[in-house]
Amino acid sequence: MFWLYITIFSYLLFALANLGDKLMVSKYQTKPVVYAFYVGFLGIVGLVLIPFGVINPGASQIIWSLLAGLAFVGALYFMYQALHIGETTRAITILGGTSPIFTFIFSLFFIPENLRLTELVAFFVLIMAIVILSWPPKDHISKKIQHQQTKFALIAGIFYAANYVLSKFVYAHQPFVSGFFWIRIGCVITALLILLWPRNRKAISLDLRKPKKQKKAGLLLGVQILGGLGVIGQNIALSLTSASLVNALQAIQYAFIFVLTALLGKKIPVLLEKLHPKEIIRKIIAIILISIGLYLITIS
Report, as an integer, the average pLDDT of 93-118: 72
The rounded distance, in Å, linking the Cα atoms of 127 and 198 is 40
The rounded distance, in Å, linking the Cα atoms of 36 and 29 is 13
The rounded distance, in Å, linking the Cα atoms of 128 and 200 is 38
pLDDT given at position 61? 92
At 134, the pLDDT band (50, 70, 90 cuts) reads low
The rounded distance, in Å, linking the Cα atoms of 152 and 90 is 12
Structural domains of the chain, count: 1
Residue 192 above 90 pLDDT? Answer: yes
The mean predicted confidence, pLDDT, of the chain is: 79
pLDDT in tens, 140-154: 556 677 778 788 888
**Residue 211 DSSP code:** -
Range of the domain at 256: 2-299
Its pTM stands at 0.76
pLDDT in tens, 12-52: 998 888 788 777 776 667 788 988 898 899 889 888 888 88
Q: Is 67 helix (H, G, I), strand (E, B) or coil?
A: helix
**Residue 136 DSSP code:** P
